[in-house]
Amino acid sequence: MPILPIDSGRYGSKEMKEIFDEYKKLEYELKYEAEVAKAQAEINLIPKEAAIEIAEIVNLNKVSLNRVKELEKVSDHDTAAIVEAINEQCSDKTKPWIHYGLTSNDVVDTSTSMQMKDAFKIIKSKIETLIRELLNKAIENQSLPAVGRTHGQHASIISFGLKFAIWSNEMLDHLKRIEEGEKRFLLCKTLGVVGTGSVMGEKALQVQKIVSEKLSLFPTEASTQVIPRERYAEMIFIIGLIGSTLDKIAIEIRNLQRTEISEVQESFKKGQMGSSAVPVKKNPIKSERISSFAKILKSNVSIALENISLWHERDLSNSANERFIIPTSTILIDDMITTMIKIISGLFIEKEKILKNIEITNGQIFAEFVLQLLISKGISRIEAYKNIQRIAFKATEQREHFLKSLSKDDFIIRNITLDELNSIFNPQYQLSASSQIINNIVKKAQKMNIYVNNNL
């Protein structure tokens, strides 16, 4: 009976959950045992006939999950149960060479790397799709002036499209982090009980090199009985970092969808209900779900860091929690990226409201540009700043438009013409380098073979 929402099908894609399914996990572990045996036979560590038989048993699916579970009930050891299940299918001549020179975590850690290699393929592909959606929105809205907010207050003019370009740039860097990190955490280990190579002796590294190449993984350079957990901590941190960026995007969308701002809205399908009590509500539930999952991912980073410190050549204080944090983090980040793709692709952008919001402060959002014009005329920054502040505060008290207050102030009249003032208060003129920045991010994506329709 399903207990967690992941198990019930509420969250997580079918393709990602299959990677962490117990049947698939056993498949990875059996494949590892077969590849190690073949590598050992290749350099004459074990008889070739033994390696062939082990590989045949694995390939013909003669080791069942049910049988492994039955054996584990007796041995209370999952990897030992797999070895015993293989042993039951082998001839007497082959039995001595099963799991030769290996320890449990050689199997566990390498099969985890195999899982994550397949998982990151899915994640990277979805990130690329998200980047395209973000850049499409950046290009479409590059010329749309909007309110730029700092501390929750109106600060200056921003290109609405720049928001999406900034987010896409972070996702591009996340792709790089994954690709750069894979050589550090997608590791293959065959070095036995305490990381010496155990009974395989000097040929242990040769075996590891062969197996790593066969499994498209990277050989462990040095380890104890387990792959150093710094590697897993980095992997979980990267997942958490991606989740934090998605959370940042989600929070911005949630804020922009607030009734008082109303600049964007998540898609709302026919028949959807925003509230069980208030029929008129359209809530940003997809973005809120992303923010909720992000809390789990960030917490899992802390657990992964705790797992680095193990006793001597290893203990089991990491083992149980890794069965949670690795699949859970991976399944959730996949779900979060998929959800964000849906949010961005279906996002309704209320352009009229965006332009209308610029005038909420009665023109005071243009103060930065008035200040700069005065400075360009040789007036000190402090003098210009204090005079603009004086005029703005007075305009607020009198509920007067900032442009009107400026145009009748003696200090301003002495230094700025009316034509110059009017040009400042056109938001279309205040987008500065926005289009160039967006164009640079598009080019960066193209260098990484991610292409969008660029009409810049």
Task: Tell me the catalytic residues.
Answer: 151, 275
Q: Which residue has the tokens 């000097």?
A: 202
Phi-psi region of 159 (alpha: psi -120 to 50; beta: other; left: phi over 0): beta
Please return the burial class of 359, using the count of CB atoms within 10 Å of its CB with bins 0-12, 13-18 and 19+: middle
The residues with which 157 forms a beta bridge, in sequence order, are 147
Reduce the DSSP state of residue 360 to 3 states and report it. Answer: coil
Q: Which amino acid is at 244?
A: S
Q: Cα–Cα distance between 63 and 329 in angstroms, integer?
A: 29
DSSP H helices, 14-77, are 14-19, 22-42, 48-59, 65-75
Residues near 83 by beta carbon (within 8 Å), at least 6 away in sequence:
33, 98, 99
Contact indicator for 228, 191 with CB cutoff of 8 Å = no
Q: Which residues contact 5 (CB under 8 A, 6 or more apart)?
A: 11
How far is it, in rounded angstroms, from Cα 412 to Cα 331? 59
Dihedral of CA 315/320/326/329: which sign?
A: negative
> What are the angstrom distances between the C-alpha of 119 and each of 82, 247, 271, 448?
23, 21, 34, 20
Q: How far is CA 256 from the centre of its chain?
A: 22
Structure tokens belonging to residue 7 = 């198990």
Return the exposure string of 421-440: e unless at least 16 CB atoms fall within 10 Å of the residue's CB, then b: beebbebeebbeebbebbbe
Question: CA 9 to CA 6: how far, in whole Å?
Answer: 5
In sequence order, which ranges of 346-433 are alpha helices (DSSP H)?
Answer: 351-357, 367-376, 381-398, 402-407, 410-415, 418-424
Tell me the C-alpha distance between 92 and 108, whole Å: 26
